[in-house]
Amino acid sequence: MILVEIVTVLALLQYLTFAALVGRARVKCSVKAPATTGHEVFERFYRVQMNTLELLVVFLPAMWLAARYWSPALVSGIGAIYLVGRFMYFRAYTREPSTRSLGFNLSLGPALLLLLAALVGAVLAGLK
């Protein structure tokens, strides 16, 4: 499970980096807490963090459940695609929100695939 653990830590560090960039954008764009709106650029960074949070709560349990039934090397490989997809999503969204689809799909896809793998694994185990 070491590879799955390392992908987990990297996904959390990536997410924390997005969160830190929101903090920086807050200062740069002069959006004073507790507001989360008021400047388009700040809002892009904020949406990247929030959307990553929204996906992370699916991705991590899906990866760990899938790893109960499938090869940890395969599962963490799919997890690595998620990491790359999220990075592309971040780059695209903060530059031009309308171009965020590819990175979005390359990170949602692996999460869905792992969730499906977990479901198939659990159902097959239940039928035994």
Centre a 10 Å sphere on the Cβ of residue 8 and count the other Cβ atoms it contains.
18
* Smallest gap from residue 58 Cβ to a copy of itself (A): 5
**Whole-angstrom distance, CA of residue 118 vs CA of residue 127:** 14
Binding site for a copy of itself (CB under 8 A): 2-3, 5-6, 8-9, 12-13, 15-16, 19, 33-37, 40, 43-44, 46-47, 49, 53-54, 56-58, 60-62, 65, 68, 93, 97, 100, 112, 115, 118-119, 122-123, 125-126
36-44 long-range contacts, CB within 8 A, separation 24+: 41/94, 44/93, 44/94, 44/97
* Smallest gap from residue 36 Cβ to a copy of itself (A): 8
CB nearer to a copy of itself: pick between 12 and 84 = 12
**Whole-angstrom distance, CA of residue 46 vs CA of residue 86:** 14
> What six digits make up the tokens of 51?
């959307």
* Smallest gap from residue 25 Cβ to a copy of itself (A): 12
* Smallest gap from residue 60 Cβ to a copy of itself (A): 6
